Amino acid sequence: LKSNPSNTEEKEAQTQLTKSDELQRLHSQALSAYQQEDYEAAISLLDEILAVCVWDAELRELRAECYIKEGEPSKAISDLKAAAKLKNDNTEAFYKISRIYYQLGDHELSLSEVRECLKLDQDHKQCFSLYKQVKKLNKQIESAEEFIREGRYEDAISKYESVMKTEPEVPIYSTRAKERICHCLSKNQQATEAIKLCSEVLQLEPTNVNALKDRAEAYLLEDMYEE
C-alpha cells in the first residue's frame, strides 16, 4: 500500500487484515479447546479456519487428532492424507494413517501406508516397528487364506491360531480369526466345535453373515434343521 496507495486497495487490505485477526482468534480458541479436551468444539473452530486456510497441513493434523479422540477414524484418515500431500516428507502422517488402518483391522492398507513412511525414512523407528508387526500378520492371514482355498483346513486353523497370538491387543483380528476358524471347522465336518466358535463370534457381532452361514452349515451336519 505504501508503494501504491489507492482507496480500493486500502479497503481490500483492511478487510483481509480483519479476516486474518479473526482467524488467529479462532486458532487460539481451537488450541485452547483441544487442550481442555473439548474436541467437538475444537473441530468446529478448525472447520471455520480450514474453510479459508485450505492448504494448512498442521491444522489438518490437529483436526485429525480431534477426530481420533472423538472416535471418527475415517475422517482423521482423510485429513492425514491431505497433510501427507501438503507437507514434504511427512512420515508422521503416514505412520498415523497406517496405525488407524491397523486398529480398524485393515492390515493390507496399513502395510501400504507404513511402506510410504519407510520410503521417506528407512530408519524411522516407529514405522519400522509397525511395519514388522503388520507384515508378519499380513503374511499369516494370506497363508491361512491360501490353505482354505486349497481345502487344507487343519493348516488354516493352525495359521489363524498364530494370528491371534501375533495380535492379541486389537480385538478385531481375534474375531476375524475365529470367524475363519469356524468356517474351516464347518467345512471339515467338525460341527460341534464350529457351532461353539461361530456362536462366540455372533455374540460379538450378531449380524456377521459369514458366521451365520457357517453355523447354519454346522447345524445341518448335526440334523438340527430348526436352528
* H-run or E-run covering 55: none
Q: Which residues contact 177 (CB under 8 A, 6 or more apart)?
A: 160, 161, 163, 164
Query: Which amino acid is present at 175?
Result: T
Count of alpha carbons within 13 angstroms of residue 124, beta-carbon side: 23
* The overall pTM is greater than 0.75: yes
Reported for 32-35, long-range contacts at CB under 8 A and 24+ positions apart, including other chains, are: 34/62, 34/65, 34/66
C-beta separation of 182 from 201 below 8 A: yes
Instruction: pLDDT tens for the chain, 227 residues: list them.
Output: 677 777 778 888 888 889 999 999 999 999 999 999 999 999 999 999 999 999 999 999 999 999 999 999 999 999 999 999 999 999 999 999 999 999 999 999 999 999 999 999 999 999 999 999 999 999 999 999 999 999 999 999 999 999 999 999 999 999 999 999 999 999 999 999 999 999 999 999 999 999 999 999 999 999 999 99
